[in-house]
Amino acid sequence: MTADSRASLDEIRDFHAKMMAAASNSSDERLEQAFRLVRREAFMGPGPWRIVVKGRHLETPSSDPAFLYQNVLVSLDKSKGINNGEPFLHAAFLGAVAPQPGETVIQIGTGTGYYTAILSTLVAPGGHVHAVEIDEALASRTRDNLASFENASVICADATELELPQADLIYVSAGVVAPPISWLQALRLGGRIIVPWQANDKVGLAVLITRAEQGFSARALMPAYFIPCIGASDPMQTTKTPSGGEARSIQSVWLTQDRAPDETAVAIYRDLWFSNAGL
């Protein structure tokens, strides 16, 4: 292959965007457009970069952005185990929650803002992304990286203790033992939250929860493992832990204050419980 026949960076970005659209399992053409418009290298810091493969950190041979347009984790802070997540997984998350123009989004755990920027693009025009990051250094980087995204704002805070605005979508990029009830209560009717549910060492599932007139519908989507969410990862709040099969069977979530756990409960926590029965 000659140098002239190699793909250009624009062609590589375009193909990456097409792969993300396919991975999203969505027919929304805006997803492909968002991945094409938002350049990953603008959020990763200067290269070369460290790619994470099965716990090993491999440095890219150069600062060529082409190395970032693969389905790879990119290390943001090796000492804390913080990475920019796999694009295929986030594309699937985005396809499941289907952000729409005009919606209010809360993102919990921004990293350096790459997926925040994509969410910002998808809810424009008229929407807004409230990005919450507990790590001061990452929040600062996110704020700088999103300077040109007028419909995104960043706050450095603990999302488990923060009073959240009402939202159509909450997008969580950190693993929880159970979502705080404040997150569920922040959802508008029909609002949804996607969260990596890490009920125990063997159960890691992305869960989509949607607010209904009474209660919350829920379904498990796919395996997902993230760095634990500070404030929402205490196993001591658990009184009943699900097996893998039980976790995948969930159909609804109830706040304990609204309804006591019954025989359909597969996972029980201090403030809420998961049921294998529908609403």
What would the pLDDT profile of 128-177 be if each residue is shown by its tens digit?
A: 999 999 999 999 999 999 999 999 999 999 999 999 999 999 999 999 99
3-state secondary structure of 201: coil
Q: Determine the Cα angle at 173 with ends 70 and 25, to 5°.
A: 55
Q: What are the CA-CA distances from residue 1 to residues 6, 66, 82 (Å)?
A: 7, 17, 37
Of 15-19, 118-122, 205-209, 236-240, the range with the lowest mean pLDDT is: 236-240
Region 78-107 average pLDDT: 96
The rounded radius of gyration (Å) of the Cα atoms in the chain is: 19
Q: How far apart are CA 140 and CA 113, in angstroms?
A: 10
How high is the pLDDT of residue 2?
52
How high is the pLDDT of residue 5?
77
How high is the pLDDT of residue 3?
55
Which tokens in the block code for residue 50?
């460290």
Asked if residue 119 lies in contact with residue 99, where contact means CB atoms within 8 angstroms, the answer is yes
Q: What crossing angle do the helices spanning 136-145 and 114-123 adopt, rounded to 10°?
A: 50
Q: What is the pLDDT of residues 202-222, one digit of tens each?
A: 889 999 999 999 899 999 999
Region 39-60 average pLDDT: 96
How high is the pLDDT of residue 4?
65
| Contact partners, residue 57, CB within 8 Å, separation at least 6 | 50, 51, 75, 78
**Between 235 and 170, whose confidence is greater?**
170
Average pLDDT, the chain: 95
Q: How far apart are CA 92 and CA 222, in angstroms?
A: 9
Q: Please state the pTM of the whole predicted model.
A: 0.95
Q: How far apart are CA 270 and CA 255, in angstroms?
A: 9
Among residues 85, 79, 80, the alpha carbon closest in space to that of 112 is found at: 85
Q: Could you count the other beta carbons within 10 Å of the beta carbon of residue 92? A: 21
Determine what percent of the chain is predicted with pLDDT higher than 90. 90
Q: Determine the Cα angle at 52 with ends 51 and 53, to 5°.
A: 115
Q: How far apart are CA 87 and CA 71, in angstroms?
A: 5
On the question of pLDDT at 249 being above 90, the answer is: yes
- What phi and psi, each to the nearest 5 degrees, are found at residue 145? -65, -25
Strand positions, DSSP E, 78-202: 82-84, 104-108, 128-133, 152-156, 167-172, 187-200
